[in-house]
């Protein structure tokens, strides 16, 4: 799983100023870390926290990074990162509805907070939510555990509030910047760390044909596809999906969700 930037510069322009205001406005908790058993790190909140897993009685999830699909050998996990966005997310949702495809939306906390109507539309359409941190810092694996906690837990709260109470089922580190600590923390909150196998590099605007070719060439590497619905002009992404969704279904692939 290669690291990618995925629009970091776009978020960097707005998050620095907005994050402090957001944390104050939402009553963000301050988190610290303690050493756990066998040298593992575990979060300790200085404020009350919500239940550890989505829903009541949810079974624990693994802290290993998942790529497999619950749709089986010919299954595909379509994952959409960095939104929601008022221009591009509705277009992606329209295509998914047209071709009866379900996807996992990896949402940035500030974007979810700004567009709760779109978060609710994603949930209402039967798609799943994934926590993509507050500010999409692709270098967060170099940051302190306190910072990692804030990025994950504040985004969890923002997305849950925007969705009307539906919690994220996965956690995807920006640019793949996972750490053992962040994976353990996410799993303790009921969010399975989520990787990818096929990076379409649509954020680089390589052209619609190039995005399609990347998927067709690299799909044998594994079932999880990475696209973006925010962070810039996503015309190429939408057009690539318009071609790929029916083509892949015609080839006998089915669309599912990452294994929990």
Question: Over the stretch 159-171, which tens digit does the pLDDT of each residue have?
Answer: 999 999 999 999 9
Going by pLDDT thresholds of 50, 70 and 90, the confidence category of residue 58 is low
Distance CA 227, CA 198 (A): 9
Q: Is residue 26 part of a domain?
A: no
The token pair that represents 166 in the structure block: 């539906």
Q: Is residue 158 part of a domain?
A: yes
CA dihedral 202, 112, 91, 121 (to 10 degrees): 140
Q: Is residue 3 part of a domain?
A: no
Largest CA distance in the chain: 52
Instruction: Indicate which residue of 4, 81, 132, 141 is catalytic.
Output: 81
- Residue 60 is predicted with a pLDDT of 85
Catalytic, 229? Answer no
Q: Is residue 194 part of a domain?
A: yes
Q: How would you classify the pairing of strands 104-107 and 128-131?
A: parallel
Q: How would you classify the pairing of strands 192-193 and 170-171?
A: parallel
- Residue 93 is predicted with a pLDDT of 98
Q: How far is CA 152 from CA 86, 133, 137, 169, 171, in A?
A: 23, 5, 11, 13, 8
- Residue 59 is predicted with a pLDDT of 74
Q: In this predicted model, what pLDDT tens digit does every residue of 108-137 receive, in sequence order?
A: 999 999 999 999 999 999 999 999 999 999
Which phi and psi (to 5°) does residue 80 adopt? -125, 120
Q: What is the DSSP string of 165-209?
A: SPPPSEE--GGG---HHHHHHHHHTT-EEB--SEE--GGG---HH
**Closest listed residue to residue 150, CA positions, set 185, 126, 179:** 185
Q: Is residue 231 part of a domain?
A: yes
Instruction: Indicate which residue of 115, 127, 228, 229 is catalytic.
Output: 228
Domains identified in the chain, total number? 1
Do 74 and 253 contact (CB within 8 A), yes or no?
Answer: yes
- Percentage with pLDDT > 90 across the chain: 77
Going by pLDDT thresholds of 50, 70 and 90, the confidence category of residue 103 is very high
- Residue 34 is predicted with a pLDDT of 26
Q: In this predicted model, what pLDDT tens digit does every residue of 214-249 receive, in sequence order?
A: 999 999 999 999 999 999 999 999 999 999 999 999
Q: How far is CA 65 from CA 30, 79, 103, 174, 218, in A?
A: 26, 14, 18, 13, 19
Q: What angle do CA 10, 194, 223 make, to 5 degrees?
A: 105
Q: Is residue 2 part of a domain?
A: no
| Inter-axis angle of helices 145-163 and 116-124, nearest 10 | 70
| CATH code of the domain in which 232 resides | 3.20.20.370
Which residues form the domain of 81?
8-12+61-256
Q: Is residue 181 part of a domain?
A: yes
Catalytic, 228? Answer yes
Which phi and psi (to 5°) does residue 167 adopt? -100, 155
Helix (H, G, I), strand (E, B) or coil at 129: strand
Q: Is residue 105 part of a domain?
A: yes
């Amino acid at each position: 799983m290669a690291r990618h930037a995925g629009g970091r510069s776009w978020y960097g322009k707005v998050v620095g100023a907005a994050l402090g205001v957001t944390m104050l406005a939402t009553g963000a908790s301050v988190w610290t870390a303690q050493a756990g058993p066998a040298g593992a790190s575990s979060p300790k909140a200085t404020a009350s926290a919500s239940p550890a897993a989505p829903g009541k009685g949810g079974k624990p999830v693994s802290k290993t990074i998942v790529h497999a699909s619950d749709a089986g050998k010919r299954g595909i996990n379509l994952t959409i990162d960095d939104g929601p966005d008022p221009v591009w997310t509705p277009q992606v949702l329209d295509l998914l509805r047209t071709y009866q495809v379900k996807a996992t939306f990896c949402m940035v906390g500030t974007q979810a907070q700004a567009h709760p109507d779109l978060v609710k539309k994603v949930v209402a359409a039967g798609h799943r939510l994934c926590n993509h941190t507050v500010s999409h810092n692709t270098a967060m694996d170099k940051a302190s555990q306190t910072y990692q906690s804030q990025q994950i837990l504040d985004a969890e709260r923002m997305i849950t509030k925007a969705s009307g109470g539906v919690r994220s089922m996965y956690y995807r580190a920006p640019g793949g910047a996972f750490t053992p600590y962040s994976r353990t923390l996410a799993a303790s909150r009921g969010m399975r760390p989520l990787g990818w196998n096929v990076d379409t590099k649509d954020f680089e605007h390589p052209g619609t044909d190039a995005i399609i070719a990347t998927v067709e060439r690299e799909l044998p590497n594994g079932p999880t596809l990475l696209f973006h619905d925010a962070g810039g002009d996503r015309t190429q992404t939408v057009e690539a999906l318009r071609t790929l969704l029916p083509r892949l279904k015609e080839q006998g692939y089915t669309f599912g969700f990452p294994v929990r």
